[in-house]
Amino acid sequence: MEFLPWIIIGVIVLLVIIAGIYLWSTYNGLVTLGVRVDEAWSDITVQLKRRADLIPNLIETVKGYATHEKGVFEAVTQARAETLQAKSPGEASVAESHMQSALKGVFAVAEAYPQLQASQNFLQLQGELVDTEDKIQASRRFYNGGVRELNTKIKIFPNTLFVRGLGFTEREFFEVADAASIAEPPRVQF
């Protein structure tokens, strides 16, 4: 009977140690996932900026052949500005939908000008744009995978009981309203 209080104390200490290890592990896992999601978002913004930097050159090249297509150029310029101003995945999603529509307009105009289609500068810009679109899609998949992992870890029981108190919140996915518009990068068949 003398050992009973020591056994109870030992069990309590063991449970506290196990709970501490669980909390420590969960916290560090969430921090790691949060950093991974932040890094993935940074990759997306780099690729969106790269594409935005290609747009003025593309517009100038197409303008040289189709100066009367003012509406198309204004739409692309507006979509570019929207993309550069987007601060959150939600804002970027809306901007991405507008950008895809605007780019389709530019390529539709380009199809009407055989000389433009043969322009080495246009072909190079188109190739760079397609490459960038592929990178945006890959970055988007990586980001959304990280968000899925982080959100799942936040939502599972018993984590859901305490992680919000530690400052962890769910993140937004980077989705596009018109999924068909990004199903594949803009392509022009010449």
Structure tokens at 131: 């490459």
Distance, C-alpha 115 to centroid of its chain? 36
Q: In 10 A of CB 129, how many CB atoms?
A: 22
**How would residue 189 be classed by pLDDT, with cut points 50, 70 and 90?**
very low
Instruction: Confirm if 48 and 136 have CB atoms less than 8 A apart.
Output: yes
Four-point Cα dihedral 89, 93, 94, 99, nearest 10:
130
The residue with greater pLDDT, 36 or 176, is 36
Picking from 15, 4, 190, 47, the residue whose alpha carbon sits closest to that of residue 107 is: 190
Q: In angstroms, what CA-CA distances link 19 with 4, 10, 11, 29, 156?
A: 23, 14, 12, 15, 16
Round the average pLDDT of the chain to a whole number and report it. Answer: 85
| Predicted local confidence at residue 171, as pLDDT | 92
* Mean pLDDT value of segment 124-130: 87
pLDDT for 121 equals 82
Find the angle CA(49)-CA(190)-CA(96) to the nearest 5 degrees: 25
pLDDT digits 0-9 by tens, 14-70: 999 999 999 999 999 999 999 999 999 999 999 999 999 988 888 888 877 777 777
pLDDT, position 188: 43
Q: How many beta carbons lie within 10 A of that of residue 189, not counting itself?
A: 6
Listed in sequence order, the residues at least 6 apart from 78 whose beta carbon sits closer than 8 Å to its beta carbon are 98, 102
Q: pLDDT category, 5, cuts 50, 70, 90? A: confident
Global pTM value: 0.76
- pLDDT for residue 1 is more than 90: no
Determine the distance from the C-alpha atom of residue 83 to the mean position of all C-alpha atoms in its chain, rounded to a whole number.
Answer: 12
- The band of 180, judged by pLDDT with boundaries at 50, 70 and 90, is low
Per-residue model confidence (pLDDT) at position 76: 87
Per-residue pLDDT at 172 exceeds 80: yes
The number of residues making up the chain comes to 190
Q: Is the pLDDT of residue 106 over 50?
A: yes
Is residue 186 within 8 A of residue 109, CB to CB? The reply is no
